[in-house]
Amino acid sequence: MAKKDRIRKKHDDGILHGLAGSLEEAFSEDTSEIQQDDIIVVDVPERNNSKKSKRMLFFIAGLTIIIFAILGVISTVITISGIASDIANQTAFKNDLTLYLYPIVATDPPSFDNVENLTSPTIIKASIARIRLTGDMSKYQREDGVIYIPEFDVETSAKSIFGGAVKFEHRTVGHIDDLATYIPDKKAYAIDDMQLIPNYSLKISSLQNVGETYTVTVDYYPPAIDIPGLNKEPESIKTMIYTIVMSGDKKNITSLKMADTSDGLYGDTEK
């Protein structure tokens, strides 16, 4: 019995000794080697990030191109609109100027280099023609085929053509077709209640200006007669150059001469 106890004790002591040796070996191990072995290095793939960067660059480049394209279209539309507006404004201006000159061309006044040199008959004929061709004739008194135009209206018409400083004496002017008889008692001109047939029609062929002074080249044509099947492109009979000063809505003719001045002459100059 005592022998068995000694053998068992010896066996237990061996086990304890082996366990203690194992623990000692474990605690004596270099901790730096353990930490180094436990570090895990992970490589982050860069391929996905590269694809995303390229896609972003392509998107920005495409968006930039679209923006510039839109801006180009807008700029083109604005430019075309501006050109169209300029053309429309120029056309409207020429039409307005044509209407203004029509009564003067209709009476075919002679050339002059200063309004002060104009005769009273020239001023009166142009002034009455303006009233008859572009004015409101319905407001005037009519009696036995005669229309009475007050001298005040004739003076106002003259000033609208030749300026506020124009002066003339009221008198009878014209002949059979454009006869205007001055009646002092009525302070009016008596004209025939028939449509005035102009001597010429016109077309503005050139328009230049320096500030408010405009040089207008006008082609004179025969009065238009509409004959179906026989109408041909009319030829200009003569060309005159008008000098017109414009300020706002006001227009004043300051001189008139023949277009061909190569010989230094003004043509049929007013005496």
Domains of the chain, residue spans: 115-192
Q: Would you state the pLDDT for residue 74? A: 78
Cβ contacts of residue 112 below 8 Å, gap of 6+?
A: 118, 255, 256, 269, 270
- Give strand pairing partners of 124: none
The H-assigned helical ranges of 108-138 are 120-134
Q: What is the mean pLDDT of residues 209-213?
A: 92
In this predicted model, which residue has the larger pLDDT, 93 or 89? 93
Q: Is 218 helix (H, G, I), strand (E, B) or coil?
A: strand
**Percent of the chain, pLDDT > 70?**
68
- Residue 157, pLDDT above cutoff 70: yes
* pLDDT exceeds 90 at position 7: no
pLDDT reading at 239 higher than 60: yes
Place 190 in a pLDDT band, splitting at 50, 70 and 90.
very high
Give the per-residue pLDDT at 260.
Answer: 73
**Residue listed under structure tokens 């570090």:** 39
Both tokens assigned to 23: 């623990």
Give the pLDDT score at 29.
52
Of residues 80 and 136, more confidently modeled: 136
Residue 122: pLDDT over 90: yes
Task: Rounding to the nearest 10 degrees, give the CA dihedral for residues 194, 197, 198, 200.
Answer: 170
- pTM for the full model? 0.62
CA nearest to 241, candidates 111, 98, 124:
111
What is residue 43's predicted lDDT score, i.e. its pLDDT?
A: 53
Q: What pLDDT is attached to residue 184?
A: 96
Task: Provide the mean pLDDT of the chain.
Answer: 78
Which residue has 């366990």 as its token pair? Answer: 19
Q: Does pLDDT of 185 surpass 90?
A: yes
Is the confidence at residue 207, as pLDDT, over 50?
A: yes
User: What is the rounded average pLDDT of the residues 76-97?
Assistant: 68
Q: Average pLDDT of 170-188?
A: 92
Residue 244 bridge partners (DSSP): 214, 253
How buried is residue 182: exposed, middle or buried, by Cβ count under 10 Å (0-12/13-18/19+)?
Answer: middle
Asked whether the predicted pLDDT for residue 160 surpasses 70, the reply is yes
pLDDT of residue 83: 55
Any idea how long the chain is? 271
What pLDDT is attached to residue 120? 95
| 193 closest CA partner among 127, 104, 105, 132 | 132
- Confidence check: pLDDT of 105 > 80: yes
| pLDDT tops 80 at residue 258 | yes
